[in-house]
Amino acid sequence: MAKPSMAAVAVLVSVALISGCGKTRKEYERQLEICTVGENNGVLTAAAEACGKALEIARQHDYTPEEISDLSYRLGLIERQQGKFEEAEALVRTSLDYEVQIADSAGIASRLVELAVSLAGQNRWHDGAELLTRAEAHVQSLAGSDRRDAMHAFLAYAAQRRKLGDSETAERFTSLAEELATE
């Protein structure tokens, strides 16, 4: 039997890699679909598991920073909804790290707000207030549910800051929440 040429071996390896990439992408998409169905139906444990598998695939196969950031953020939201605030914090911090590296990222504000919400769930109000202060410059870029979520976060933090006697920050957060509600 003739020995295959190096060119033939290279072609076979390329076909195998392309075929594997296609299968990987399909599995990634399948896991995202399961995650979406779970989220939409309130089956958060299944959603988190599927999003976690998709995130694992994305990391292993060097998907784009945007894809990894979005999935880390999404999984963080799901974990927070389940009361897993520390897990949520880690995932959202990872997403924020990616967003900071992405030029002209519109996702920074939503990540900072979500991180503040996760910290509130851990009774780490001071740390969360610092994050909301960082988010102030970016929140006008938020739309839809992200904007509404930011409004609620600013109101909750305003109430907390008021309890601590920090009326200046409380008023600033309240004013920002009102702006978010009217636009």
Chunked into runs of 10 residues, the chain (183 residues) has average pLDDT values of: 46 38 86 94 96 96 94 97 97 95 84 97 97 92 93 97 96 96 82
Type and span of the H or E element at 117 = helix 108-121
What pLDDT was estimated at residue 102?
Answer: 84
Indicate whether 12 belongs to any domain. Answer: no
What pLDDT was estimated at residue 92?
Answer: 98
What pLDDT was estimated at residue 8?
Answer: 39
Domain end among 50, 75, 103 = 103
CB 55 within 8 A of CB 92: no
Domain end among 45, 77, 103 = 103
How many whole angstroms separate alpha carbon 54 and alpha carbon 33?
10
Indicate whether 49 belongs to any domain. Answer: yes
What pLDDT was estimated at residue 18?
Answer: 38
Domain end among 87, 103, 119 = 103
Indicate whether 3 belongs to any domain. Answer: no
**46, 100, 114, 181 from 152: Cα distances, Å:** 27, 24, 11, 9
Indicate whether 17 belongs to any domain. Answer: no
| Helical axes 108-121 vs 125-135, angle rounded to 10° | 170
Considering only CA atoms, which of 85, 82, 141 is closest in space to residue 114? 85
What pLDDT was estimated at residue 17?
Answer: 39
CB 120 within 8 A of CB 156: yes
Same domain as 97, residue 44: yes
What token pair was written down for 31?
Answer: 């896991």
Range of the structural domain that residue 167 is part of: 106-183
Same domain as 91, residue 147: no
Same domain as 118, residue 80: no
How many whole angstroms separate alpha carbon 144 and alpha carbon 142?
7
Number of domains observed in the structure of the chain:
2
Neighbours of 58 (CB within 10 A): 22
Considering only CA atoms, which of 70, 108, 62, 67 is closest in space to residue 91? 70
Q: C-alpha 16: how far from its chain's center?
A: 33
